[in-house]
Structure 1
Amino acid sequence: MRFADVTRRLAGLGGAKWAVYSEARARIAKGSDIIEMTIGEPDVPVPADLVSATVDALHAGRTAYSNGRGEAALLDALAARYSARWPRRFIPENFLTFPGTQTALYACIAAMAEAGDEVLVGDPMYATYEGVIRASGAEVVPVPLRAEHGFRMQAADLAARITPRSRAILLTSPHNPTGAILTKQDLQAIGELAMAHDLWILSDEVYEELVFDGVAYTSPLALPEIADRVVSVASISKSHAAPGFRSGWCVGPEAFCAALLPLSETMLFGNQPFIADMTTKAIRDGSSVAAEMTGRFQARARRLAERVTAATTLNVAMPEAGMFCLIETTATGMAGEAYAWDLLDHGVAVMPGTSFGDGLHHWVRVALTIEDSAFDHAVERIIRHARAHGAVRQEEAV
């Protein structure tokens, strides 16, 4: 039997990236003592009022078909939220709703690029980005995000990789897996390149409400000079601790959303009305859990950095937002992939940095989403493991 070429383009880009996570789950099921620090699920349940809103909508019969753009009340709520957030007026025609950020990314890339085109994206990158780009037929062009620049995309690195085939720049800010945030100056420089080369900017902003204290955040949506070429995607998965509801959206120019609408209608005809009703409440009321989650994640990142750097020669990159922290593994003599598998044998599951691109060859990603006692226990195991592999400070070795 013959398969479409998309299956070849996506081969190896699915579950293979999550092999350590899958193995950890399998060992736990067999009774192994392993602390999971792999995936980024919120550390609290879905707020009770959002569950109630969903159930109420179901009982009210909100189970009929929707439409390709989304339910009117949700579109109104999104327009009001973004108009209050950024110095622009947004209207319902600036939005389309989707089942989560992932679907929105897939659709937006499909509308921006195709076979023969190129999409520029920071390396490291979220694990599914390569897949959503390749699915369109376009080629992935990695732009290095360097530790010495705080893992923020630099305009010079981007400019060096732009070609006549370039069609879009995929940004993530706050970034997964590094937790870095692009500054206004970064975005302005990137925007100038986008205007000069007629490129789309697609900005994944799912972590927007998990920015740490003392850190400034802005979006390319806030820059009027590039408003006609910026599309953003987001969801309630992280901000409202509701990943399983799969409720997201894209926001962009009216012309873009109008062009994307037939694709959305072909794919899925919007999100379910009962979930749209819950999401409308979530957007209008704001998150009741984001601030406390963010405080816990920042505190855990700080404890991890302080304890590990005090006791070992491992390097911890402090994030500015999000649910993750990075540990550089060079001091152990192991690259990130080998380190993650070896650490799994010592009772802690983390993600190899190479699951997010070649730029994290000597790093691992650590989730900050487990409760404090388990988190602290895992940190002690990481320290013991590092010492066993010679990553010990000189004063402790004598």
Structure 2
Amino acid sequence: MRYAAILDRLNALGAAKWDIYYRAQALEAAGHDIIDLTIGNPDVPAPEPLIEAAVTALRAGRTEYSDGRGEPALRAALARRYSDSTGREITPAQILCFPGTQTALYAVMTGLAEPGTEVLVGDPMYATYEGVIRASGAEPVPVPLRPERGFRLSAEDLAARVTPRTRALLLNSPQNPTGAVLRAEDIAAIGEIARAHDLWIVADEVYDELIFSGAPFASPLADPALAERTVVVSSISKSHAAPGFRSGWAVLPEEAAARLAPLSDTMLFGNQPFIADATALAVSAPSATARGMAARLSARAQRLAERLEAGPLKVNRPEAGMFALIDIRATGMSDAAYAADLLEKTGVALMPGSVFGPSIAGWVRLALTVPDAKLDEAITRILTHAERHMRAPSRAEA
């Protein structure tokens, strides 16, 4: 039988990236003592007012077809939120609503990129970025995010990879998996390149409410000089501990929103009204849930670094988000081999860094979203495993 070329472009870019997670789940189901630090599930349930708003809307019959662009009340609430945060007017006509950030990204990339074009994206990157770019037919062009810069995207590295085929750049700040936060000066330098080469800036800001104390945040959406070329995507998945709600959005220039609206209609014709009502409540004020999570995640990252760096492993201290990167190159193992060995021998599941791009092969990603006591136990197991491995003689010595 014949298949569309998109399936070839996406081959091995889906669930295959999460093999270590599925292996951990299988071991736990078989009765093994597993500490799963692979996935960024929030460490608290969705807030009760959010749940109650969804239930109330359900009981009120808010289960009919939605407005294809998103429910008017939600788009108005998002327009107010981004007007307040950027200091410039954002209108409801600039908002499209989707089931989660992932769907928003897919629609945006489908609408902005196409076969024969390229999209610049930081390496390392969130595991689905290559897929959403390749689905459009475009080619992802990795731009290394360097540890010595705190994994913040360098405008010089970006400029060196621009070609006549470059159509867009995909930013992620705060960044997954590194926890890096772009500064205003970073955005300004990146924006100059985008203007010089007529590039779209697509900014995934899903972690913008999970920034640790003292880390500055800047969005290209706030720069009037970048207004005509900036698209921001986000959701309540992280900020409101509600990934299962699948409620996200895109903020675009009005012309781009109008052009992408028929694509959104073709995909799903709007999101669920009862979830839209709950989301409108959620985005009407800064998230108290996010503030609490950010404090806990920051403290756990600090604890992780202090304990692991007393041994042979090094930690990149994140400025935001749910994850920390551990440099395991001192063990002499590849990141994939290390993650597999750690899981089988200690029951601790971490994501190999190479899943997120070749620039962090030799690193692993750890989710900070488990209770403190469980994280401490995981750290103890990681240290014991590292010490045993570092003491093990090489084949030449054996």
* TM-score, length of structure 2 as denominator length: 0.97
Question: Does residue 62 of structure 1 match 2:23?
Answer: no
Aligned residue type for 2:315: V
Aligned residue type for 2:61: G
Residues 99-135 of structure 1 show CA distances to partners (whole Å, capped at 9, x for unaligned) of 0000000000111110000000000000000000000
Aligned residue type for 2:14: G
- Structure 2 portions without partners, runs of 5+: 393-398
Residues in 2 aligned to 1:237 and 1:354: alpha-carbon distance in whole angstroms: 25
Q: Is the 8 A contact 1:328 1:336 kept in 2?
A: no
Q: How does 1:220-235 map to 2 (within 5 A)?
A: 220-235=220-235
Question: Does residue 324 of structure 1 match 2:328?
Answer: no
Q: For residue 67 of structure 1, report the CA deviation from its aligned partner.
A: 2.0
Q: How does 1:267-286 map to 2 (within 5 A)?
A: 267-286=267-286
- Structure 1 portions without partners, runs of 5+: 393-398
For 1:395, the equivalent position in structure 2 comes to none
Residues in 1 aligned to 2:120 and 2:312: alpha-carbon distance in whole angstroms: 34
Residues in 1 aligned to 2:17 and 2:283: alpha-carbon distance in whole angstroms: 33
Residue 284 of structure 1 aligns to a residue in which SS?
Answer: coil
For 2:298, the equivalent position in structure 1 comes to 298
Q: For residue 335 of structure 1, report the CA deviation from its aligned partner.
A: 1.6
Residues in 1 aligned to 2:208 and 2:75: alpha-carbon distance in whole angstroms: 19
For 1:333, the equivalent position in structure 2 comes to 332
CA separation of 1:228 and 1:391: change in aligned 2, threshold 3 A: farther
For 2:160, the equivalent position in structure 1 comes to 160
Q: For residue 68 of structure 1, report the CA deviation from its aligned partner.
A: 1.6
4+ runs of 1 displaced by more than 2 Å? none
Q: How does 1:372-391 map to 2 (within 5 A)?
A: 372-390=372-390
Aligned residue type for 1:265: D
Residues in 1 aligned to 2:369 and 2:212: alpha-carbon distance in whole angstroms: 15
For 1:201, the equivalent position in structure 2 comes to 201
Q: How does 1:83-122 map to 2 (within 5 A)?
A: 83-122=83-122
Residues in 2 aligned to 1:343 and 1:391: alpha-carbon distance in whole angstroms: 16
Q: How does 1:27-46 map to 2 (within 5 A)?
A: 27-46=27-46
Q: Is the 8 A contact 1:67 1:265 kept in 2?
A: no
Question: Does residue 352 of structure 1 match 2:361?
Answer: no
Q: For residue 288 of structure 1, report the CA deviation from its aligned partner.
A: 2.6
Residues in 1 aligned to 2:52 and 2:391: alpha-carbon distance in whole angstroms: 50
With 280-289 and 91-100 compared, the bigger mean Cα shift is at 280-289
Question: Does residue 308 of structure 1 match 2:314?
Answer: no
How big is the alpha-carbon RMSD for the aligned residues of Structure 1 and Structure 2?
1.0
For 2:395, the equivalent position in structure 1 comes to none
Aligned residue type for 2:359: G
Residue 283 of structure 2 aligns to a residue in which SS?
Answer: helix
Residues 310-348 of structure 1 show CA distances to partners (whole Å, capped at 9, x for unaligned) of 1x1211000000000000111111121111111101120
Residues 245-279 of structure 1 show CA distances to partners (whole Å, capped at 9, x for unaligned) of 00000001101101100000000111100000000
Aligned residue type for 1:281: L
Aligned residue type for 2:53: A
Q: For residue 389 of structure 1, report the CA deviation from its aligned partner.
A: 1.3
Q: Is the 8 A contact 1:332 1:391 kept in 2?
A: no
Q: For residue 223 of structure 1, report the CA deviation from its aligned partner.
A: 1.2
Q: How does 1:145-184 map to 2 (within 5 A)?
A: 145-184=145-184
Residues in 1 aligned to 2:287 and 2:156: alpha-carbon distance in whole angstroms: 37
For 2:24, the equivalent position in structure 1 comes to 24
Residues in 2 aligned to 1:185 and 1:286: alpha-carbon distance in whole angstroms: 25
Residues 179-199 of structure 1 show CA distances to partners (whole Å, capped at 9, x for unaligned) of 001111111111000000000
For 2:250, the equivalent position in structure 1 comes to 250
For 1:364, the equivalent position in structure 2 comes to 364
Q: For residue 391 of structure 1, report the CA deviation from its aligned partner.
A: 7.6
Residues in 1 aligned to 2:391 and 2:147: alpha-carbon distance in whole angstroms: 20
Q: Is the 8 A contact 1:314 1:391 kept in 2?
A: no
Residue 196 of structure 2 aligns to a residue in which SS?
Answer: helix
Residue 39 of structure 1 aligns to a residue in which SS?
Answer: coil
Q: Is the 8 A contact 1:6 1:137 kept in 2?
A: yes
* TM-score, length of structure 1 as denominator length: 0.97
Q: Is the 8 A contact 1:47 1:288 kept in 2?
A: no
Residue 143 of structure 2 aligns to a residue in which SS?
Answer: strand
Residues in 2 aligned to 1:244 and 1:5: alpha-carbon distance in whole angstroms: 30
Q: Is the 8 A contact 1:232 1:250 kept in 2?
A: yes
For 2:396, the equivalent position in structure 1 comes to none
Residues in 2 aligned to 1:89 and 1:314: alpha-carbon distance in whole angstroms: 47
Residues in 2 aligned to 1:321 and 1:202: alpha-carbon distance in whole angstroms: 19
